[in-house]
Amino acid sequence: MEKQSDLLLDIQHLHTAYRLNGKFYDAADDVNITLKRDEILSVVGESGCGKSTIAASIIGLYDHKNTKVTGDILYNELNLVGLNESLFDKIRGNKIGMIFQDPLASLNPLMRVGDQVAETLYYHTDMNEKERHERVIELFNQVGMPKPEETYSMYPFELSGGLRQRIVIAMAIACKPEVIIADEPTTALDVTIQAQILDLLEDIQKQSHSGIILITHDLGVVAETADEVAVMYAGQVVEKADVKTIFNNPLHPYTRSLLNSMPQSDDTDEDLHVIHGTVPSLVNMPREGDRFADRIPWIPASAHEKEPVMHEVEPGHWVRCTCWKTFHFDDSEASGE
Amino acid sequence: MWKTVLRRVLIMIPQVIILSILIFFLAKMMPGDPFSGQINPNTDPKQLEALKRAAGLYDPIPVQYGRWVGNLFKGDLGTSYIQHVPVTSLIADRAVNTFWLALLTTTISYGISIPLGITAGRHQDEWQDQAVQIFNYVTFAVPPFVFYILGIWLFGFTLGWFPISGSVSPNASGFWGTLGSQIYHIILPACLVALITTTSIVQYLRTGIVDNKVEDYVRTAHSKGVPENVVFRKHILRNSLLPIASSFGTTITGLLSGSMIVESVFSYPGMGKLFLDSIGQRDYTTLTALILIFGILTLLGNLLSDIIMSIVDPRIRIK
């Protein structure tokens, strides 16, 4: 049993619905996940599966007029759902840091990067201007900026993609947050830079004993960095386990299909596995039965639960629906259809 | 940054030379000459020829151009065909009037449009935004002269708040009395021009705010815990003011070149009215001088815009 204080985020029955043409549609549908201290939790899934919706819900950054969030997001027993904006501003950037996908777009083009990092400190610490400057230089050293002093007064357009992402990371960790949410932090970067940034995130997590939610569609990134994995499909978590279990003993058909679609370096002559169909759009998403059923049509309907729920198949390993028991890949595909 | 400014000034030199050549040839192509207005049935053609020769009208074109440019540098823009006074002094009086009108117009115009643009952008699609949009449609769609005449009718005739023509009252005396009277005369035209020049500024600002609001860096600022109103002021507004800053130079020179319609409607002795009058009277010397000045003002306006942009936008400042 973990101590209570090790639990940083406890997300229970999270529903996040967006208004489209006057109706609300759940983009995150009954999501239950937890984040512990010293843990990297990876949320994986295809585009449009609701990964970023979870990030936006946690940090409270969504269009309040057209989004409805219900359920509980408990951060140290404080419920972030429906939290007053001015209270939330004391948590954002201070207790919860956020790293975004596109490091150029995430930085204000008209502000010196050092000042952008210092802005976080201005709102959450009592430091004076000189102390803030020193702390920014310290952070730049920590995130591996080659020339911290010179970089302080540079503008985003003067820096490379990798360096910009380091600035964004410095901004997110400036106040030593307990929770860091990284939304596709390496997607916009070169492969070589990706590895450096992931190493940096791991270092930061080890030093600060924070918990990181790493949102990605890249299973390579998951394998390299994550401790726990939540696989999402169509707004729902379909499988949840530690990283070894996910890669060695995946059960849910979607997890297995995803892993099967991953290029393997040792077999170069075989075509990649393609998952039949596409993720349904928010409006067309099936709201009853197994949402993945349409994409594995060769599995008989009787194999799916009517109202699929999460089952704990072994300690700490949760799978939605029971169709995994009879799941097999489509044979016709192997014959090169 | 000074390098950028210097480079831009150097680029202007060939532009001014080309402009002056174009204007000179245009003037040459126009019918008539300085003596056309003085001919009567008793004029001796031979005497006229001698006058023209003495004035250098039969010299080779490049020589004439050289003389014209030489005179320009001495501040001599020629003599008006119609008014028989040096064009320089004719324009100088009008330029001062236009300058004050332009200054007041610009102040009022930006003073109205920036708050309106901010309101519309912040309250996108709400009633405040819709009210500003209606204001914009009206000021954009109603022809300026209709606007001016309505203004004169309402505030000049009906309410009698403001004078409706001229630049100063003949009864004004003393420095302060004259200044007061001058300001009193330009308030109504300045307000009316300001109202119809707000459209583009309001629209630029509103669009800028609406677009920037959803930019990633605004989300980043929120994720740092920066309070809403600071995010707006420091991140959204600053970026949204860029297009306005870039159009500021040309807007101000546009006004300095004289608002022809408003100056005509109000019989205000400024550059715009002088220009229209000169066309009507075929006063070519004045016309060429004015076109040259307007051309140079346009170039200076662009220069001013570039300088402002390089101050506010680091991407332009740092190459």
Task: Give all domains of chain B, ordered by start, each with its CATH number.
Answer: 87-282 (1.10.3720.10)
Measured between beta carbons, the chain B residues lying within 8 angstroms of A155 are 314-315, 318
- Domain-embedded: residue A220: no
Q: How many domains does chain A have?
A: 1
What's residue A332's pLDDT?
A: 61
What's residue A268's pLDDT?
A: 63
What's residue B258's pLDDT?
A: 65
Cβ atoms B185, B163 nearer than 8 A? yes
Question: How would residue A2 be classed by pLDDT, with cut points 50, 70 and 90?
Answer: very low
What's residue B120's pLDDT?
A: 93
- Domain-embedded: residue A184: no
Residue appearing with tokens 């070589």: A192
Specify the pTM: 0.80
Q: By percentage, how much of chain A surpasses pLDDT 90?
A: 30
Q: How many whole angstroms separate alpha carbon A263 and alpha carbon B8?
A: 54
Q: Which of B217, B314, B318 is the closest to A106 by Cβ? A: B217
Which element (helix H / strand E) includes A310? strand A310-314
Calculate mean pLDDT across residues B212-222.
91
Could you say which DSSP state residue A271 is in?
A: P
Tell me whether residues B217 and A105 touch, CB distance under 8 A: yes
In a mutagenesis test of the B interface, which of A90, A107, A108, A184 is the best target, namely the one with the most B β-carbons within 10 Å?
A: A108
B276: left (phi over 0), alpha (psi -120 to 50) or beta: alpha
Tens-digit pLDDT profile for residues B52-81: 777 777 778 888 888 888 888 887 777 777
Residue of chain B minimizing CA distance to A153: B314
Q: Exposure of A283 by Cβ count < 10 A (0-12 exposed, 13-18 middle, 19+ buried)?
A: exposed
What's residue A10's pLDDT?
A: 92
Q: Does A114 touch chain B (CB under 8 A)?
A: no
Q: How many whole angstroms separate alpha carbon A179 and alpha carbon A159?
A: 27
What's residue A62's pLDDT?
A: 86
Could you say which DSSP state residue A92 is in?
A: B
Could you say which DSSP state residue A319 is in?
A: E
- Domain-embedded: residue A63: yes
Residue appearing with tokens 């993945």: A292
Amino acid at B138: V
Is the pLDDT at A122 greater than 90, yes or no? yes
| CA-based nearest residue to B32, from B52, B50, B46 | B52
Cβ atoms A58, A9 nearer than 8 A? yes
What's residue B34's pLDDT?
A: 63
The chain-wide mean pLDDT, for chain B, equals: 84
Classified as helix, coil or strand, A312 is strand
- List the alpha helices (DSSP H) in B74-143: 87-122, 127-141
Tell me whether residues A92 and B315 touch, CB distance under 8 A: no
- Domain-embedded: residue A175: no
Cβ atoms A14, A71 nearer than 8 A? yes
Calculate mean pLDDT across residues B115-132.
92
Measured between beta carbons, the chain B residues lying within 8 angstroms of A109 are 217, 239, 314-315
3-state DSSP of B254-280: HHHCCCHHHHHHCCCCCHHHHHHHHHH
Q: Does B239 touch chain A (CB under 8 A)?
A: yes
Measured between beta carbons, the chain B residues lying within 8 angstroms of A159 are none
Calculate mean pLDDT across residues B275-290.
82
Calculate mean pLDDT across residues B288-302.
87
Could you say which DSSP state residue A252 is in?
A: S
Tens-digit pLDDT profile for residues B178-188: 788 888 888 88
Q: How many whole angstroms separate alpha carbon B317 and alpha carbon B4?
A: 8
Lowest mean pLDDT among A28-37, A219-228, A284-293: A284-293
In a mutagenesis test of the B interface, which of A19, A59, A89 is the best target, namely the one with the most B β-carbons within 10 Å?
A: A89
What's residue A5's pLDDT?
A: 60
Q: How many whole angstroms separate alpha carbon A46 and alpha carbon A56?
A: 17
Tens-digit pLDDT profile for residues A277-300: 777 788 877 777 788 887 887 777
Amino acid at B83: Q
Half-sphere exposure of A142 (CA within 13 A, CB side): 23
How far CA A222 is from CA of A197, A210, A231, A241, in Å, comes to 13, 18, 11, 12
Is the pLDDT at B164 greater than 80, yes or no? no
ipTM, two decimals: 0.84
Measured between beta carbons, the chain B residues lying within 8 angstroms of A92 are 222-225
Q: How many other C-beta atoms are found inside a 10 Å radius of the C-beta of residue A264? A: 9
Residue of chain B minimizing CA distance to A98: B223
Is the pLDDT at B145 greater than 50, yes or no? yes
Measured between beta carbons, the chain B residues lying within 8 angstroms of A86 are 227
In a mutagenesis test of the A interface, which of B123, B126, B214, B223 is the best target, namely the one with the most A β-carbons within 10 Å?
A: B223
Tens-digit pLDDT profile for residues B250-279: 888 888 776 788 888 888 888 888 888 888
Is the pLDDT at A4 greater than 50, yes or no? no
Amino acid at A19: R
Q: How many whole angstroms separate alpha carbon A70 and alpha carbon A13?
A: 8
Measured between beta carbons, the chain A residues lying within 8 angstroms of B319 are none
Q: How many whole angstroms separate alpha carbon B151 and alpha carbon B166?
A: 16
Q: Does B304 touch chain A (CB under 8 A)?
A: no
Tell me whether residues B220 and A106 touch, CB distance under 8 A: yes
Tens-digit pLDDT profile for residues B37-55: 666 777 777 777 777 777 7
Token pair recorded at residue A159: 């820096």
Strand partners, A20: A23
Is the pLDDT at A273 greater than 90, yes or no? no
Residue appearing with tokens 């020629």: B78
Strands A179-183 and A211-216, by their bridges, are: parallel
Token pair recorded at residue A114: 């050092």
Calculate mean pLDDT across residues B189-214.
90
Calculate mean pLDDT across residues B111-124.
92
What's residue B128's pLDDT?
A: 92
The chain-wide mean pLDDT, for chain A, equals: 86
Question: How would residue A336 be classed by pLDDT, with cut points 50, 70 and 90?
Answer: very low
Which element (helix H / strand E) includes A20? strand A7-20
- Domain-embedded: residue A163: no
Calculate mean pLDDT across residues B95-100.
86
- Domain-embedded: residue A61: yes
Token pair recorded at residue A6: 């090790």
Cβ atoms B240, B121 nearer than 8 A? yes
What's residue A240's pLDDT?
A: 92
User: What is the span of the domain harbouring residue A298?
Assistant: 4-87+229-261+272-326
In a mutagenesis test of the B interface, which of A65, A110, A154, A183 is the best target, namely the one with the most B β-carbons within 10 Å?
A: A110
Strands A236-242 and A228-233, by their bridges, are: antiparallel
What's residue A261's pLDDT?
A: 82
Tell me whether residues A171 and B224 touch, CB distance under 8 A: yes
| CA-based nearest residue to A178, from A97, A241, A299 | A97
CATH number at A285 reads 3.40.50.300
Classified as helix, coil or strand, A228 is strand
Q: How many whole angstroms separate alpha carbon B164 and alpha carbon B166?
A: 7
Selected residues 56-75 of chain A with any CB under 8 Å from a CB in chain B: 59, 61
Q: How many whole angstroms separate alpha carbon A11 and alpha carbon A33?
A: 5
Measured between beta carbons, the chain A residues lying within 8 angstroms of B318 are 155, 158
- Domain-embedded: residue A277: yes
Q: By percentage, how much of chain A surpasses pLDDT 70?
A: 95
Q: Does B308 touch chain A (CB under 8 A)?
A: no
Lowest mean pLDDT among A145-149, A192-196, A310-314, A330-334: A330-334
Is the pLDDT at A267 greater than 70, yes or no? no
Residue of chain B minimizing CA distance to A168: B220
What's residue B161's pLDDT?
A: 86
Measured in angstroms, the CA of A215 and the nearest CA of chain B are apart by: 16
Question: For chain B, what is the radius of gyration of the CA atoms?
Answer: 25
Residue appearing with tokens 């799916």: A304
- Domain-embedded: residue A57: yes
Cβ atoms A98, A55 nearer than 8 A? yes
How far CA B241 is from CA of B113, B114, B198, B202, B232, in Å, comes to 12, 9, 14, 11, 12
